[in-house]
Structures are given as structure tokens and as C-alpha cells.
Amino acid sequence: MRMVLDAAVALSWCFPDEADEYTQRILEMQKSGGAVVPTIWPLEIANALVVAERKTRIEASEAGQFIALLLELGLRVDAATSTQALGEIRALARAHGLSAYDAAYLELAERRGARLRTLDPDLLALAGVYPWIE
């Protein structure tokens, strides 16, 4: 199944208090491959893990295990995201009052014809406009 994977969904797999039935279902679907992420995604993941370690929410070893899981899933980073940043991503951000980061997910899903799997309330609010957001 083709999908764009929001960092918050993936991070829920690291933090049990953030996981729910939806995010676990996405993890199971991703085990068969097919997810793509924008170029900002690895930085969002890395930052969340660094902050969680600093706040002693997780140990470095737990972060390492989570990274190993992500690597096993074979996520693909979309190389074209940065070329869209000053054009379509910026336009989507302006049109919908999104951050450029959130608009990058929206643009990628639209361009790839993929489902956007997200927990972001700003993106979920656009599900009526873009029915492939869930």
C-alpha cells in the first residue's frame, strides 16, 4: 500500500503512551513496505529522539532499538521534496494556513497519489478537502 508516513505516527511506535489502534495498524501495514516520507522526516525523528533522551523519557538504547525498527521497515525518503519547497509546498502552506513542514507531507501525498497517515490536527482538518488524508 502506498502511503506517506507522518513522523508523529512513527514516533508513537517508540512511545507506548502515544500508540493506539490506528498507529499500530499503520505499523502492521508498513511491515509490508510502501511508505515514503519527505526529506524533513529523518530530522523530525532525530530531533524527537534527542529531546526525549534529554528529558529522560527514553534511554539511548531504546532510541537505538526504535531506529533499528525504522531501518527494517524500508521507508523511502522522497528526494524531490526540497525541489518543491519554494513552489508547491509554499503555496499549499499559504493556502491552508499550514507550516511548510506540514505542507511537505500534503504535497508529497498529493504528488505520489498516496494516503497521508497522520496524527496532525491541522492536516486532519483538511481531510474534507483531500479525502486521502487519514
pLDDT tens-digit readout, 4-45: 999 999 999 999 899 999 999 999 998 877 799 999 999 999
| Number of other residues whose CB lies within 10 A of the CB of residue 58 | 18
pLDDT on residue 133:
85
Residue 134 lies in a domain: no
Residue 98 lies in a domain: yes
Write out the H or E segment, with its range, that includes residue 44. Answer: helix 41-54
Residue 132 lies in a domain: no
At 1, is the pLDDT very low, low, confident or very high (cuts 50, 70, 90)? low
Beta strands per DSSP E along the chain? 3-5, 35-37, 76-77, 115-117
- Which position has the higher pLDDT, 66 or 131? 66
pLDDT on residue 128:
87
Task: Encode pLDDT of 51-106 as tens digits.
Answer: 999 999 999 999 999 999 999 998 999 999 999 999 999 999 999 999 999 999 99
Q: For the whole model, what pTM was predicted?
A: 0.92
pLDDT on residue 134:
83
The boundaries of the domain holding residue 86 are 3-124
> Do the beta carbons of residue 36 and residue 75 sit within 8 Å?
yes
Q: Residue 108: which CATH number?
A: 3.40.50.1010
How far is C-alpha 8 from the chain's CA centre?
Answer: 6
Residue 130 lies in a domain: no
pLDDT on residue 37:
97
Query: What is the number of domains present in the chain?
Result: 1
